């Protein structure tokens, strides 16, 4: 992908996840890893979105952090600066501590999103899809990866099988939704940021 195309792809990714921000999901975007670590100089305008390649993402999906113990939210990082992005999957890592008690999450390691989720789609997958996918992983809402799969945590798999019998932790959970425009739906009729009045008080 040429540099100009990569900028447009980054702008597209930023627009997608911006349309998903809400109670369940939120993010901050940065230009560099140092900015992300220091939570400084976030990318906040659509004009600069093409420069955003590092994300701190927060998913408020209750997930196991130990047997029978839940954590309400998980913070993770995403780095789009990988060779051959978007054909290659972005780098991911868990920021919050403790990390989810799951075969797909381990401290200091990438989130095991699965080659079939990103790489097999040959670039036809968005950063927003990744958000939904990680939310499903946190909720243990996925098809099993086959008998014998233990990932990073065979003990958690055994616990889940015994207590949830293959079902999600919360079967009724509402996931962050991809923005309607991405799916070809007409734009929202009313702007979400509705200015009622701009005024200056008398001194």
Applying CB under 8 A, the residues found at the interface with another protein are 18, 21-23, 26-28, 34, 38-42, 44-46, 58, 192-203
**Shortest Å distance, C-beta 6 to another protein:** 22
Nearer to another protein, 18 or 106 (CB): 18
Examine residue 129 and say whether the peptide bond preceding it is cis (omega within 30 degrees of 0): no
Q: d(Cα 4, Cα 6) in Å, to the nearest integer?
A: 5
Q: State the Cα torsion 43-44-47-48 to the nearest 10°.
A: 0
Nearest alpha carbon to residue 72 among 128, 162, 139 = 139
Nearer to another protein, 26 or 129 (CB): 26
**Shortest Å distance, C-beta 18 to another protein:** 7
What are the backbone angles phi and psi of residue 20, rounded to the nearest 5°? -110, -10
**Shortest Å distance, C-beta 132 to another protein:** 17
Nearer to another protein, 58 or 119 (CB): 58
Q: d(Cα 173, Cα 170) in Å, to the nearest integer?
A: 5
**Shortest Å distance, C-beta 105 to another protein:** 20
């Amino acid at each position: 992908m040429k540099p100009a195309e990569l900028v447009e792809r980054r702008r597209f990714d930023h627009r997608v996840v911006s349309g998903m921000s809400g109670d369940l999901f939120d993010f901050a975007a940065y230009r560099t890893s140092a900015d992300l670590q220091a939570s400084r100089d976030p990318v906040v305008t659509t004009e600069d979105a093409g420069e955003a390649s590092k994300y701190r993402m927060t998913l408020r999906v209750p997930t196991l952090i130990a047997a029978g113990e839940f954590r309400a939210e998980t913070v993770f990082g995403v780095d789009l600066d990988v060779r051959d992005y978007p054909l290659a999957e972005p780098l991911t890592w868990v920021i919050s501590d403790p990390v989810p008690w799951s075969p797909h999450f381990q401290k200091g390691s990438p989130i095991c999103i699965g080659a079939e989720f990103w790489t097999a789609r040959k670039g036809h997958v968005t950063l927003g899809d990744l958000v939904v996918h990680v939310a499903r992983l946190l909720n243990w809402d996925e098809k099993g990866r086959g008998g014998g799969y233990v990932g990073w945590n065979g003990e958690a798999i055994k616990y889940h099988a015994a207590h949830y019998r293959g079902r999600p932790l919360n079967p009724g959970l509402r996931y962050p939704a991809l923005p309607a425009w991405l799916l070809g739906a007409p734009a929202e009729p009313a702007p979400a940021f509705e200015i009622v009045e701009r005024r200056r008080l008398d001194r």
